[in-house]
């Protein structure tokens, strides 16, 4: 019997070697060795280990941890060598695999086919499975979802909840769940390597549960995200931690503002926030370098002059704000697991002055008309002021305040 799963080896007597081993897609074969002295064996073959790793199984399995079998997780502990084989795969396939393994262990007479290492090119099946279920009732709890699925589309299916089996599709690159009734997604999504995620036309704004945006491999893989038409009143600043994003769509929601840190998305090229209730943009947008920007059907208004009280600018800043300014000025890396979350959120809340210095006091801000021509080669914006859009800038000093008021007066 042969199954494909994600396998990680734990070498119990050498933790440093374990640290170097990564989980990889592996073919697990169970059968009899062509070498009669070895008897029944378990063979592991992966692209990293093309010749394969053979384990004798008779009287050599110390324990099988199968408590989480229903979630597709099993660990086989061997006596010699002192390895733990940590397997993550399709629960149905794993169940069959364990059944055969147990019967081989309990009954010496059970005959098993001969296992030989396959040639490299045949080791693993290609992960190019594309599955599409369009329309109500096309996808149900009993629909098969093979582990090798690369593209999955479940659209207009009236799905009420995120199917937990999707969280196990480790090879998934494209996930389209548009046009369903989802109000939240599973946290397990954060550990997938999805490149394209389409969620348009769901109800994510009903719960505002964005735990699927927590740190994980999704943060490093996602390039396309569509959150359009989800009744969203805000988008969390976590969205600006998906640093690989090239396209971000948040059209047809109820957004009144964008995260201050939107300018952190340095690879973003297409941004679309049409049909919302935006009145002003955060100043970090000046850092963006877009090819397409769509801001039609919002509520941008030419701002009234909102004078900053210059005496506020001369106040001694709090220690927290002073330190945050230094972190931003010196481009000191800050990320989850390394920097406390509340510090990250504080850094994300910065406004930027026209001199590009960070400002943390929202009372020291000034709304100025800014030209979209500076941030995008093509833009869609339905205003009589053509390319000028209200943007909230921080004011870092009396000198910058004077510059800002002069620019505003010249417009
Ligand atoms: Zn300044």
Q: How far is CA 352 from the centre of its chain?
A: 27
366 CA distance to ligand 1 middle (Å): 11
Ligand 1 centroid from CA 73, angstroms = 54
Nearest to 63 by CA among 42, 96, 85: 85
Q: What is the mean pLDDT of the chain?
A: 86
Instruction: Give pairs for 122-125: CB < 8 Å, separation 24+.
Output: 123/27, 123/45, 123/46, 123/47, 123/50, 124/4, 124/25, 124/27, 124/46, 124/47, 125/4
CA of residue 323 to ligand 1 center, whole Å? 17
Q: Is the pLDDT of residue 336 over 80?
A: no
Instruction: Give per-residue pLDDT as tens, 46-90.
Output: 887 778 888 988 888 999 998 888 878 899 999 989 999 999 887
The bridge status of strand 270-272 relative to strand 290-294 is parallel
**Picking from 1-15, 41-55, 99-113, 289-303, which range would have the lowest pLDDT averaged per residue?**
99-113
For residue 121, pLDDT beyond 50: no
Instruction: Name which of 197, 201, 163, 204 is nearest 180 in CA terms.
Output: 201
- How many angstroms is it from 100 CA to the middle of ligand 1? 70
Q: What backbone phi and psi angles, to 5 degrees, belong to 56?
A: -70, 135
| 36-44: Cβ within 8 A, 24+ apart | 40/104, 40/112, 41/115, 42/76, 42/85, 42/101, 43/115, 43/117, 44/7, 44/85
Residue 196, number of CB atoms within 10 A of its CB: 17
The Å distance, Cα 395 to ligand 1 centre, comes to 6
Residues within 5 Å of ion ligand 1 by Cβ?
A: 353, 355, 357, 396, 400
How close is the Cα of 384 to the center of ligand 1, in Å? 29
Cα-to-centroid distance, 214 and ligand 1 (Å): 33
Distance 352 CA to ligand 1 centre (A): 8
390 CA → ligand 1 middle, Å: 18
How remote is the CA of residue 198 from the centroid of ligand 1, in Å? 39
DSSP state of 114: B
What tokens appear for 145 in the block? 């979802």
Token pair 């629909």 in the structure block, residue? 143
Looking only at the bridges linking them, the beta strands covering 83-88 and 73-78 are antiparallel
Report whether 64 contacts 75 (CB < 8 A). yes
pTM over 0.75: no
The answer to whether the CB of 228 falls within 8 A of the CB of 200 is yes
> What is the arrangement of strands in the sheet containing 365-371, beginning at the earlier edge strand?
281-282, 388-394, 365-371
Taking only the tens place, the pLDDT of each residue in 234-264 is 998 889 989 999 999 999 999 999 999 899 8
Instruction: Tell me the per-residue pLDDT of 158-203, one tens digit each, with 9 for 90 and over.
Output: 999 999 999 989 889 999 999 999 999 999 999 999 999 999 999 9
Q: How many residues does the chain have?
A: 411
CA of 376 to the centre of ligand 1 (A): 23
228, 206 in Cβ contact below 8 A? no
Question: Where do we find the tokens 């060795």?
Answer: 33
Highest mean pLDDT out of 4-18, 126-140, 241-255: 241-255
């Amino acid at each position: 019997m042969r199954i494909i799963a994600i396998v990680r080896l734990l070498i119990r007597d050498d933790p440093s070697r374990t640290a170097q081993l990564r989980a990889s897609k592996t073919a697990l074969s169970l059968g009899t060795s062509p070498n009669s002295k070895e008897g029944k064996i378990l063979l592991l073959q992966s692209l990293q280990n093309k010749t394969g790793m053979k384990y004798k199984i008779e009287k050599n399995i110390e324990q099988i941890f199968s408590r989480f079998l229903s979630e597709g997780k099993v660990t086989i502990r061997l006596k010699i060598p002192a390895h733990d084989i940590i397997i993550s795969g399709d629960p149905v396939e794993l169940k069959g695999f364990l059944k055969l393994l147990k019967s081989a262990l309990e009954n010496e007479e059970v005959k098993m086919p001969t296992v030989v290492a396959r040639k490299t090119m045949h080791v693993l099946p290609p992960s190019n499975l594309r599955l599409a279920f369009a329309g109500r009732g096309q996808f149900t709890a009993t629909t098969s979802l093979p582990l090798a699925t690369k593209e999955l589309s479940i659209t207009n299916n009236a799905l009420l909840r995120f199917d937990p089996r999707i969280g196990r599709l480790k090879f998934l690159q494209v996930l389209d769940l548009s046009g369903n009734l989802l109000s939240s997604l599973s946290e397990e999504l954060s550990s997938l390597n999805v490149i394209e995620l389409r969620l348009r036309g769901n109800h994510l704004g009903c719960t505002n549960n964005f735990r699927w945006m927590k740190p994980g491999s999704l943060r490093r893989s996602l390039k396309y995200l569509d959150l359009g038409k989800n009744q969203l009143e805000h988008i969390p600043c976590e969205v600006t931690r998906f640093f690989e994003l090239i396209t971000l769509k948040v059209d047809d929601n109820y957004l009144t503002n964008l995260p201050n840190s939107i300018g952190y998305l340095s690879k973003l090229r297409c941004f679309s926030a049409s049909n919302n209730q935006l009145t002003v943009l955060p100043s970090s947008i000046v850092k963006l370098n877009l090819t397409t920007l769509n801001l039609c059907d919002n509520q941008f208004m030419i701002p009234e002059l909102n004078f900053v009280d210059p005496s506020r600018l001369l106040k001694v800043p709090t220690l927290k704000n002073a330190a945050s300014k230094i972190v931003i000025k010196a481009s000191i890396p800050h990320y989850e697991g390394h920097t406390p979350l509340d510090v990250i959120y504080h850094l994300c809340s910065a406004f930027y002055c026209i001199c590009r210095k960070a400002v943390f006091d929202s009372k020291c801000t000034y709304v100025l008309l800014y030209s979209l021509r500076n941030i995008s080669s093509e833009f869609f914006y339905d205003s009589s002021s053509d390319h000028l859009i209200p943007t909230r800038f921080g004011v870092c000093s009396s000198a910058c305040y004077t510059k800002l008021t002069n620019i505003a007066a010249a417009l």
